Amino acid sequence: MILLRLLILLALCGAADGTSNTCGQVCGLRPVPYSTTRIVGGVNVPPGKGAWAGIVSIQSARTEKYTIHNCGGTIIRPQWVLSAAHCFINRTNPLSEWGVLAGLTSTAESGPHVQIRRIKQVKMHELYDGRLLNDIALLELEQPFECTPSIQLACLPGPTVTLSPLNCYVAGWGRTEARTVASKGSILKEAKVLLIDTQLCNSSDWYGGLLQPENLCAGYEKGGTSTCQGDSGGPLICKDGKADIFWELGLTSYAIGCARPKKPSVFVSTQYFHNWIVKQIGQSSSTPAPVQSCPSLCKKMLQFYNLLQELLKFLKAESA
């Protein structure tokens, strides 16, 4: 009877909180606590927090036993990942040698939180110019991801959604030092950034007209915080100031250098390409809803329930 009451309470909390141990119709998981330092030399995301914005590592094989992180991406549906088109334009090995990893914080090690999926097909925007314009792609996976506390969906705002972004974040496994040829970082890093007015970002001493209507800018005028090589395709996540909701407003496209003054990161707007994304995925694919607020007791119980499920899954794997 006690167990039944607990399950009923958990179900009610789940309805209030909008979370689920499977993907369902839920998105917009809150990021880990932010830092204002750079991804370039930035702060590590703690293990088990790979659900940050639904982020994934897109990797390709170099040898039989060695893979390399190429780009980031985000899970927008269990079987679909959003990334940048330039990540795939010059690939030399077949898709069978590529993989998408979710739930990880280190690209060097696996673990019980990590799921690996193969890519069925890559859908690059048909007007991608091979450089900067229409730099967006969708990856259809051979098998869908299973959502867990460390693997969740990102939320994409529709073209008519009006947002008042308050706090914005970037994350990735890219370079960790600016102006060097340092090897790519293997630990997921995150940082808080500011959205920058696109007119200012496109002014003569910034990007000098390079930006297009499809682009967003985020970072700092003085530099010091930036995405870098290897972070391409990863998310720009912003909290709506009018609601406790986190949206993926953009995906990392390019920058001039890393963390330079007046050269912030440039992103592809997901709102601008929302209709294209929906068309590629198909109208039958329903849109996940953002996470809503929930009493703290419900949240704690759901966290305990999710951790218990992870423990049971681990014990089952160990006994197999």
Report the catalytic residues.
Answer: 86, 135, 232
For residues 39 and 245, the answer to whether their CB atoms sit within 8 Å is: no
Pairing of strands 26-27, 289-290: parallel
Planar angle of CA 153, 42, 84, nearest 5 degrees: 45
Between the two ends of the chain, the Cα-to-Cα distance in Å is: 31
Which 3 state secondary structure label does DSSP give 10?
helix
For residues 140 and 277, the answer to whether their CB atoms sit within 8 Å is: no
Phi and psi at 75, nearest 5°, equal -85, 115
Which 3 state secondary structure label does DSSP give 208?
coil
Which 3 state secondary structure label does DSSP give 170?
strand
For residues 26 and 289, the answer to whether their CB atoms sit within 8 Å is: yes
